[in-house]
Structures are given as structure tokens and as C-alpha cells.
Amino acid sequence: MQKPTIAGVGFTKITAHWKQSLKDLASEAAVKALNDAGNPEINAIIVGNMLSGIINGQENLGSLVAESIGLSGVSSVKIEAACASGSAAVMWACLSVLSDLFDSVLVVGVEKMTDVTDNEDVTSALATAADYDYEVFFGATFPSLNAMIMRSYAKTYNLSPEDFGYLPILMHKNAVDVSHAQLRFPIDMDGYLNSPMVSDPLKLFDCAPIGDGAAALVITKKDGAKNSDHLVEIAGFGSATDTLATYRREDLSRLRAAELATTRALSMAGLESKDFDIVQIHDAFSVIGYLNLEALGIVERGKAHEFVASGDAERSGALPVNPEGGLKARGHPVGATGVYQIAELALQLSDRAGPSQIENPNVGVAMNVGGTGSNVFVHILRRVE
């Protein structure tokens, strides 16, 4: 059985797009991906998005995107899985191609988060990824829930504030020369430690920024691809869930759903964690990035900070992590993030990543986390020779 194949990639810069609408961003990314794939016939469109109904007053994105790119009449739906909406859309596109239901599927992840007048509005919108009745109703915010995880993790493994700074420092370093990244400036440890406290112990530089952006992929089968010079195979994928409410988990210092999703993706791909050449982690918060590395089987629990501090996660290191800056610095338009991650991997594995290109990667993995770990998707990509 042929594996799903990425034939085309497209995305927008992540920033505050004041002059572009949700539809404009989705269309731009979609057209770029279609052109990159040689403009194949598209049988279906799957849109990943989390917040359009709350922030933009727009649902029914399947029809919106199809019409905006001249494909009205094509089957098209929106999928939502909180911050993992983008990778959820990719997984369902893969299933559609594997089942022979559709030959070629366009995946579009899009989010426009700056169309609000108050940051509290965005915070409230993001909190819909948590348990409303037992967390949000009593005042919990998404940053405060992640701060609780960070506090538990630091206590369990006796980590200092500096230990959490290594990841955001690396992400900002990676983003400096990436044209589509949102935060293209370096930070150092003093800057990290002195950044404002958001929710103790979570600092401003532990948190990914708010931004607008869209990314798109054309997923098909190798035999049906028009352009064969930059194909990348989706060798395996897996998803899993955990309790929606963070407080109901037995251990706050691990992501159980992420571990399960990784096991399932590796099994489908017939690979092991040691086979990874490049990693895309979901570093919406520094501690979640560390938990990703541990759930992927790359490092022992409690040792992620040592791995990043050692230099092994650098572009030139033993296992590069988020060479374009990750959620922390490339940006995190939540419903689009999973598609960005997979698009970045596809470019790396076809040697088209520009300044962030690492040396000769063959296998890459992307982990996309919904909520505080309640819905996780893992995709493993492999170079097509």
C-alpha cells in the first residue's frame, strides 16, 4: 500500500496581518501549495482551525476556503482539535487518501488571532481548550494551567528557572534568519530570566506569541503526484487523548497522550525514535516543549533541558529541533500550527528549507498538542528517493 505523500507546500508569514482576512490568508497558503504541487485536481479540502467562530465570527470554513480558491463544489470541511487542529486535519487527509476515497486532498490550517481589541479576549478564547465546568469557570486560564504543569515538572526533577530558558533561547536564535518567522530577534539568559511573569513560574519568554497565519499541504499518492522532485512520504501517524481537565491526571509532569500517539506513529512507520533526524515539537510553553522531547523517546524524563543545553538540538547538532524557531519564535497561529510543523519538515526532507536547512535529513517527526495535552497528534515523515 502506498503511503500518503506530500506533493506541495505553501504558507504565509506569521505576524499581525491587519490588511488580510481569514479567507485571504487561507487562500494565499492554499494557492502556494497547489502551485508547488503542479496544480493537481483536488478531490477534497480539509481545514484545520480552532478560533474562527469565537474571534472572527466565521464558521463553515470548508465552504469559505473552497469558494475562495475557485473550488466550490469540492467536498470541504473544517476540523477542530484545539491547538492540534492543523495536524488533525492532516491525519484525516491521510486517512482519506489511504482509503482510496479521495486521490488528492488539500489541507489548509489557518488562524487569525489579532482581530480582537483586548488580549483578555484571546486568553478567554484559548481557554476553550480546557475543561470549562471544572477549570475555566473557576478562573483558570491557559497560561495558568501550563504554569501548574511547569511547577510540577520543576519540583519533580529539581529544575531551576535557568533550566527552562535553554529552549526559548535556541528558538529565538533559529528564527533570526527565517523570513516567515514572527519573532526574529535573539534573547539571552538574562533577558529570559528578567522577562515579565505571566503566571508563576511561567515567564513571558516561556510563551509562544499571538499571531495570524496559514499553511497548506497537498496530500496524494506518489503515483498520482505531478511533481516528483520534492515528494515526502508520511510514513506513519498516531493520535491519542487524555483527560480534558489537567487536574484529573495522575502525573502532571508527563504527557500520556503524547506517549501513546508516538507509539502508534512509530508502529505504523516501522521505525524507532533513534531513527529521527529532525524534530518538530510543540513548544507553546517551554515546559510543554520539554515534555514533547520526553514523550517522543528522545531523552529520559527530566533530562530535556540537558539535551537542549548540550547543543545537540542546534541546527548542526545530533538531532535538530525546530530549526525555523518553533512555536516560540516562528509563531503559533494555533489552528494552523500543526500544518506549519509538517510543512517545515517536508521542506527539510526535500532540501528546500533555505537558511534553516539541516544536513541530509531522511526521517522527521512532528508532535502537535491540543489543550494541555488532552489531544495529541504525531506524524512521521520520510524522504522519498
Q: Are strands 75-79 and 44-48 parallel, antiparallel or unpaired?
A: parallel
Choosing from 17, 83, 172, 379, the catalytic residue is: 83
Alpha-carbon separation of residue 204 from 66, 195, 208, 210, 316 (angstroms): 38, 6, 8, 12, 28
How far is 331 from 337, CA to CA, in rounded Å? 8
Catalytic annotation present for 207: no
Which of the following is catalytic: 172, 305, 332, 379?
A: 332
What are the backbone dihedrals phi and psi of residue 283, each rounded to the nearest 5 degrees, phi first?
A: -95, 50
Q: Which residues contact 44 (CB under 8 A, 6 or more apart)?
A: 74, 75, 76, 93, 96, 101, 102, 105, 106
100 — alpha (psi -120 to 50), left (phi > 0) or beta? left
Catalytic site includes residue 94: no
- Is residue 204 classed exposed, middle or buried when 0-12, 13-18 and 19+ CB atoms within 10 A define those classes? middle
Question: Known catalytic residues?
Answer: 83, 332
